Amino acid sequence: MTDLQPVAFGVPAEAIAAELDALGITHVVCVPDSFQRTLIARWQSGNGPRFVGVCTEDEGMGVNAGLYMGGQNPMMCIQNNGIFASINTLKAIALDAKVPTFIMVGQFQRDVNKTIEEQSSRAVRMLEPTLDAWGVPHWRIEGPDDIGALKAAYERAWADQGPAVAIIGAPTL
């Protein structure tokens, strides 16, 4: 029997929140994600940006765009399955209408003891190839050392006037 060693490590919710606070995020538009539950619980408690719960990722893309048009600085928080569910809206709003759309995507069903390429979950394995096919820049957050990817994705969304994704590879702490 071999001992499995994690390849992805959780990042404390407080560290992520501090990074997002420094970016001036005003609203988090969210379809709940179990990988980001500690961070979501923090936001729902009223600690940080205003939490806006939505039912679907399509709805979230529209709310995010409306907040942006209203002069706010929103972001989205969803899971990998949500990217697949909302690809048409991502194309229409974030890409075609050129709305800055910074998205944190949790890798629901990820086994943190395996690389992305070794995952049995198609949603985990196919997230990045799907984003690549649509020309959506993305960064992996595989542990605390990758926290700078949040700022990189956020700045890219604003520079490109389109979507950029930070992929949360392990449950937040």
User: What CA–CA distance (Å, rounded) separates 159 from 173?
Assistant: 30
Residue 57 has what DSSP assignment?
Answer: H
Alpha carbon dihedral 156, 23, 36, 134, in 10-degree steps, equals: -10
All domains in the chain, ordered by first residue: 13-168 (3.40.50.970)
Whether pTM exceeds 0.85: yes
pLDDT by residue, tens only, the chain of 173 residues? 456 899 999 999 999 999 999 999 999 999 988 999 999 999 999 989 999 999 999 999 999 999 999 999 999 999 999 999 999 999 999 999 999 999 999 999 999 999 999 999 999 999 999 999 999 999 999 999 999 999 999 999 999 999 999 999 999 99
